[in-house]
Amino acid sequence: MSYLPVHTKDTAPEASKKILEQTQKAYGFVPNLFGVFASSPAMAEAYGVLTGIFEKTDLTPTERQIVLMTNNRLNGCTYCMAAHTTISQMQKVPADVIEALRNGTKIADPKLQALHVFTARINETRGFVDTADVDAFLAAGYTEGNILDVILGTSLKVQSNYTNHISHTPVDAAFQPNAWEAPKAKVAVSA
């Protein structure tokens, strides 16, 4: 049962209508997640602003998708996994990286794998990572600032993943080709 409706530009609270219009322009349609966010104009605005800020990090589009999709998988978010698979394909993220992210398997590129593992550790430990986790991340070529970038991307996924869990957001037709089912048991990323 969903406790949150999927609003349209006609049914959304007045303060969310402009956000949905901007979303329509950006995507060509209003993804259902944004329709759900519209119940809270503050959440709708916060998600858009935080997404824009995350895109300003010095992480590449592939690296940003690794952070986002790792969290989607670990949080079991079927909506976001389908959406970000589609976005990753549009951003030319290598197919083998997308497949590893969807399955929680090892990424062949050692630096990207280090990001994948560190992101998983941030999620799984709620930020209480070991010194060895930080050292391995930095040794792979990431910076102290990138530690915070991973936390930023993780916080973005808390907003969307948790919203989708409560709302049971239907996957949009545009994302259906990349539908994903969460594993029955939580699978950790291996180093």
pLDDT at 3: 82
Q: Is residue 75 domain-resident?
A: yes
Q: Which residues contact 55 (CB under 8 A, 6 or more apart)?
A: 64
pLDDT at 190: 59
Burial 91-106 (b: 16+ CB within 10 A, else e): eebeeebbebbbebee
pLDDT at 121: 97
pLDDT at 186: 57
Q: Is residue 2 domain-resident?
A: no
Q: Alpha helices of 28-127 — where are they, by DSSP H?
A: 32-37, 41-54, 61-74, 78-90, 95-103, 110-125
Q: Is residue 165 domain-resident?
A: yes
Q: Is residue 184 domain-resident?
A: no
Q: Is residue 86 domain-resident?
A: yes
Are the CB atoms for 70 and 116 separated by under 8 Å?
yes
164 backbone φψ class: left, alpha, beta (φ>0; ψ -120 to 50): alpha
How many structural domains is the chain composed of?
Answer: 1
Q: Is residue 63 domain-resident?
A: yes
Q: What is the pLDDT along the chain (191 residues), one digit of tens a residue?
A: 678 999 999 999 999 999 999 999 999 999 999 999 999 999 999 999 999 999 999 999 999 999 999 999 999 999 999 999 999 999 999 999 999 999 999 999 999 999 999 999 999 999 999 999 999 999 999 999 999 999 999 999 999 999 999 999 999 999 999 999 987 755 556 56
Residue range(s) defining the domain that contains residue 113: 14-178
pLDDT at 56: 97
> Distance between CA atoms of 155 and 137, rounded to whole angstroms?
19
Q: Is residue 163 domain-resident?
A: yes
pLDDT at 187: 54
Q: Is residue 188 domain-resident?
A: no
pLDDT at 184: 72
What CATH number has the domain bearing residue 50? 1.20.1290.10
Place of tokens 């062949």: 108
Q: Which tokens hold the place of 38?
A: 């519209």
Q: What is the reported pTM?
A: 0.93
